[in-house]
């Protein structure tokens, strides 16, 4: 059995054998269970542990990188099961009382037991002393009891384990979700005060859209989901974004509980740093990893000073209408994006000089996400090409193409905003 993950290590597909093992109907159901922390896939040196509220199994894992039109993906094949917790091994039925066994069968000779010879039919032929017989009987009974204890867990213990795991799941579902405002605002390129303002406006927007989310009108529900999804992306709230993404695929009978889960999670957002932030699953932080420290072979240098603008039309009002947001707020986001793009482009050029393709792709991904969320589509398309470029000889052309679109957009926006 196997599953496939995308570049963000999210499971996007699973084999029917894995779904049957987890007792799920489809990959959407698996996605929901993972987002709700009901199912976890944990990786360690030996393999992968699959945890559910009732069971935990560990498997050897073989990984294979896949290339697709959606980018690089990973096929994870689960092979030999190493161990399984909370699994009761079937045992042969043993007599409930030792007395019944003594009455029915002789414990003196394996052949006699095999053929069911009654003890009273062979009592006269026993040549060993009675004391030795009794000692052997007691030792045999004690050994059987020990074996039975080792192989079969009492049901009461199983219930206790389940209760503990249920409490852990409940604790995760009620834990505060810490937002690292300092780090996220730095990544976006805005002040912490502005980020807090935008976050408050986002929560207000989410509350105002609750009726649309619960509406029977599919258009209203889709528009509300679309707006909340892209705003959570702009504010870099991955936990919220994943929950909203689920709403697109949630069955009608489950929509109310999914919406309630969204608002419950929204109510747990906090910008107050907890005393213990070791639990990574309840912390929203999107600090970009630095590129590998090893030496790379330089791709050369890129001079953007002679790049000519490539014009395209962008209307703030249209973007604001599509996102159901005030134009003034969109303008604020664009100002922040322009500042961020200048900083990240400088980093991209330095990475190009170092020959660090991985960092260039990550910067392309970062800027593409923001441009897409703000509906700056031509700019987003050029950054998409950079994000998935594997041929370093094409990078200079792609980066200059991106910059030509960007300086055109920046000039156009500055002229209109004055």
Interatomic CA distance for residues 369 and 363, integer angstroms: 10
DSSP count for the chain of H helices, then E strands: 18, 9
Assess if residue 342 is contained within a domain. Answer: yes
Looking at every residue in the chain, the average pLDDT score rounds to 75
Confidence of residue 105 (pLDDT cuts 50, 70, 90): very low
pLDDT tens, residue by residue, 312-366: 999 999 988 888 888 888 888 899 899 999 999 999 999 999 999 999 999 999 9
Most confident of 60-69, 77-86, 376-385: 376-385
Assess if residue 333 is contained within a domain. Answer: yes
Q: How many domains does the chain have?
A: 4
CATH of the domain at 49: 3.30.450
What distances in angstroms separate CA 250 from CA 28, 226, 405, one per listed residue? Answer: 8, 14, 38
Confirm if 385 and 292 have CB atoms less than 8 A apart. Answer: no
Angle at CA of residue 75, ends 71 and 77, nearest 5°: 175
Whether residues 238 and 338 fall in one domain:
no
Whether residues 81 and 111 fall in one domain:
no
Assess if residue 102 is contained within a domain. Answer: yes
Percent of the chain exceeding pLDDT 90 equals 21
DSSP-derived pairing of the beta strands 177-179 and 269-270? parallel
Whole-number pLDDT of residue 369: 87
Whole-number pLDDT of residue 112: 40
Interatomic CA distance for residues 6 and 27, integer angstroms: 14
17-45 average pLDDT score: 80
Whether residues 195 and 274 fall in one domain:
yes
Does residue 147 carry a pLDDT above 60?
A: no
Whether residues 369 and 271 fall in one domain:
no
Collapsing DSSP to helix, strand or coil, 56 comes out as strand
Assess if residue 14 is contained within a domain. Answer: yes
Looking up tokens 């040196």, which residue turns up?
45
Whether residues 261 and 322 fall in one domain:
no
Angle at CA of residue 392, ends 389 and 398, nearest 5°: 60
Does residue 92 carry a pLDDT above 80?
A: no
Assess if residue 310 is contained within a domain. Answer: no
Helix 181-188 × helix 327-354 angle, to 10°? 80
Mean pLDDT is lowest, of 70-79, 147-156, 225-234, 405-414, for 147-156
Which stretches within 90-191 are classed as H helix?
Answer: 98-104, 110-114, 119-122, 130-151, 155-174, 181-188
Interatomic CA distance for residues 353 and 348, integer angstroms: 9
Mean pLDDT is lowest, of 32-46, 74-88, 254-268, for 74-88
The domain of 225 spans: 175-284
Whole-number pLDDT of residue 345: 95
Whether residues 189 and 279 fall in one domain:
yes
pLDDT tens, residue by residue, 230-245: 788 788 888 888 888 7
Whether residues 104 and 80 fall in one domain:
no
Assess if residue 157 is contained within a domain. Answer: no
Tokens read off for 107: 């414990």
Whole-number pLDDT of residue 246: 77
| Higher per-residue pLDDT: 370 or 141 | 370
CATH of the domain at 401: 1.20.120
pLDDT tens, residue by residue, 191-216: 788 888 888 888 888 889 888 888 88
Assess if residue 55 is contained within a domain. Answer: yes
Q: Which of 34, 58, 85 lies at the terminal end of a domain, its last residue?
A: 85
Q: Which of 151, 166, 189 lies at the terminal end of a domain, its last residue?
A: 151
How many residues appear in the chain? 418
Q: Which of 263, 284, 305 lies at the terminal end of a domain, its last residue?
A: 284
Looking up tokens 């947001």, which residue turns up?
325
């Amino acid at each position: 059995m196997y599953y496939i993950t995308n570049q963000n290590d999210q499971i996007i597909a699973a084999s029917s054998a894995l779904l049957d093992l987890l007792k799920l109907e489809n990959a959407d159901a698996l996605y929901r269970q993972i987002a709700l922390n009901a199912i976890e896939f944990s990786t360690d040196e030996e393999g992968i542990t699959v945890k559910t509220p009732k069971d935990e199994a560990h498997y050897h894992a073989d990984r294979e990188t896949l290339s697709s039109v959606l980018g690089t993906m990973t096929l994870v094949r689960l092979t030999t099961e190493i161990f399984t917790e909370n699994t009761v091994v079937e045992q042969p039925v043993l007599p409930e009382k030792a007395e019944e066994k003594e009455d029915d069968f002789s414990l003196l000779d394996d052949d006699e037991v095999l053929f069911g010879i009654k003890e009273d039919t062979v009592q006269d032929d026993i040549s060993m002393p009675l004391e030795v017989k009794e000692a052997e009987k007691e030792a045999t009974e004690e050994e059987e009891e020990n074996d039975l204890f080792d192989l079969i867990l009492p049901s009461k213990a199983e219930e206790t384990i389940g209760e503990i795991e249920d409490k852990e799941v409940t604790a995760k579902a009620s834990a505060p979700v810490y937002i690292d405002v300092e780090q996220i605002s730095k990544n976006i390129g805005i002040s912490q005060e502005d980020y807090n303002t935008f976050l408050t406006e986002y929560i207000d927007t989410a509350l105002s859209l609750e009726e649309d989310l619960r509406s029977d009108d599919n258009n209203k529900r889709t528009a509300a989901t679309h707006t909340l999804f892209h705003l959570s992306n702009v504010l870099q709230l991955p936990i919220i974004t994943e929950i909203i993404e689920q709403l697109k695929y949630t069955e009608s009978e489950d929509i109310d509980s999914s919406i309630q889960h969204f608002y419950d999670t929204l109510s747990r957002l906090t910008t107050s740093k907890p005393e213990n932030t070791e639990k990574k699953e309840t912390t929203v932080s999107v600090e970009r990893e630095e590129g590998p420290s090893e030496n790379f072979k330089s791709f050369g240098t890129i001079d953007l000073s002679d790049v000519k603008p490539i014009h395209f039309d962008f209307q703030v009002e249209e973007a604001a209408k599509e996102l159901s947001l005030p134009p003034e707020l969109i303008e604020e986001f664009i100002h922040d994006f322009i500042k961020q793009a200048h900083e990240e482009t400088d980093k991209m050029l330095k990475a190009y000089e170092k020959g660090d393709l991985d960092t260039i792709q990550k910067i392309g991904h970062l800027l593409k996400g923001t441009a897409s969320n703000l509906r700056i589509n031509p700019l987003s398309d050029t950054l998409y090409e950079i994000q998935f470029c594997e041929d370093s000889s094409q990078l200079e052309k792609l980066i200059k193409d991106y910059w030509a679109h960007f300086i055109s957009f920046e000039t156009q926006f500055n002229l209109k905003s004055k």
